[in-house]
């Protein structure tokens, strides 16, 4: 006669195998969610950095090249626009912002989600050979994400070189 029930040993082995499978599946799911968070955070940081770099580029393209002055601390760039307006581009750790200031108006290019991690070498002026005129400006953004995702890297460095228009 055939038996129709499982023995205790068969049940224990089956539960052990199911436990092992569940552990592997949950580990894979956990890594998938972490990877998703890393990807989303990097995408958001890159998107914000591209926006800031684009705005800074537009500003520098509007500068009269002979008026561009980089600060010795390399955290500010001042120039006069083609329309005669004075503009200051700055990276300010104290106020955690990257800003464009013209007259009494300050436009904060960073926001609550992204702030400068450091302002070292924010702007670097490259002079035209044998002159004091700026040929190009190097912009370095060292940003950190202000949105916390546990276990996710939250900073990045972005760089761009802009040559002002020669009129």
pTM comes to: 0.77
Determine the Cα–Cα distance for residues 141 and 122; give it in Å rounded to an integer.
6
Domain tally for the chain?
A: 1
Asked whether residue 122 is assigned to any structural domain, the reply reads yes
Own/partner contacts of 122-125, CB < 8 Å, gap of 24 or more, are 122/74, 122/75, 122/76, 122/90, 122/91, 122/98, 123/70, 123/71, 123/74, 123/75, 123/76, 123/77, 123/89, 123/91, 124/70, 124/74, 125/68, 125/69, 125/70, 125/77
Q: What is the pLDDT of residue 152?
A: 59
121 lies in a domain? Answer: yes
Helix (H, G, I), strand (E, B) or coil at 6: coil
Q: What is the DSSP string of 56-123?
A: HHHHHHTB-GGG-EE-TTSSEEEEEBTTS-EEEEEEETTTTEEEEEETTEEEE-S-SSEEEEE-TTSE
- Residue 115 falls inside a structural domain: yes
pLDDT digits (tens, 9 = 90+) for 28-40: 888 888 888 888 8
| Residue at 75 is within a domain | yes
Per-residue pLDDT, 153? 60
In a domain, 2, yes or no: no
For residues 126 and 140, what is the distance between their CA atoms, to the nearest angstrom? 14
pLDDT for residue 51: 92
Q: Residues in the chain with pLDDT < 50?
A: none
Q: Quick check: is 1 in a domain?
A: no
Q: Could you read off the pLDDT of 129-148 as tens digits, one per residue?
A: 888 788 889 999 998 887 76
Q: In which domain, by residue range, is 47 found?
A: 8-162
């Amino acid at each position: 006669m055939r038996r129709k029930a499982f023995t205790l040993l068969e049940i224990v082995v089956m539960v052990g195998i199911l436990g092992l499978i569940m552990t592997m599946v949950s580990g894979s799911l956990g890594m998938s969610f972490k990877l998703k968070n890393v990807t989303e955070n990097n995408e958001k940081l890159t998107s914000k950095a591209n926006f800031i770099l684009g705005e800074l580029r537009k500003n520098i393209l509007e500068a009269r090249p002979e008026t561009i002055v980089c600060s010795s601390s390399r955290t500010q760039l001042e120039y006069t626009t083609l329309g005669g307006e004075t503009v200051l581009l700055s990276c300010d750790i104290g106020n955690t912002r990257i800003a464009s200031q013209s007259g009494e108006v300050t436009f904060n290019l960073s926001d609550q989600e992204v702030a400068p991690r450091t302002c070292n070498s924010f702007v670097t002026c490259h002079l035209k050979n044998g002159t004091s005129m700026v040929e190009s400006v190097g912009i370095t953004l060292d940003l950190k994400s202000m949105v916390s995702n546990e276990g996710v890297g939250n900073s990045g460095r972005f760089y761009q070189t802009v040559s002002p228009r020669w009129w």
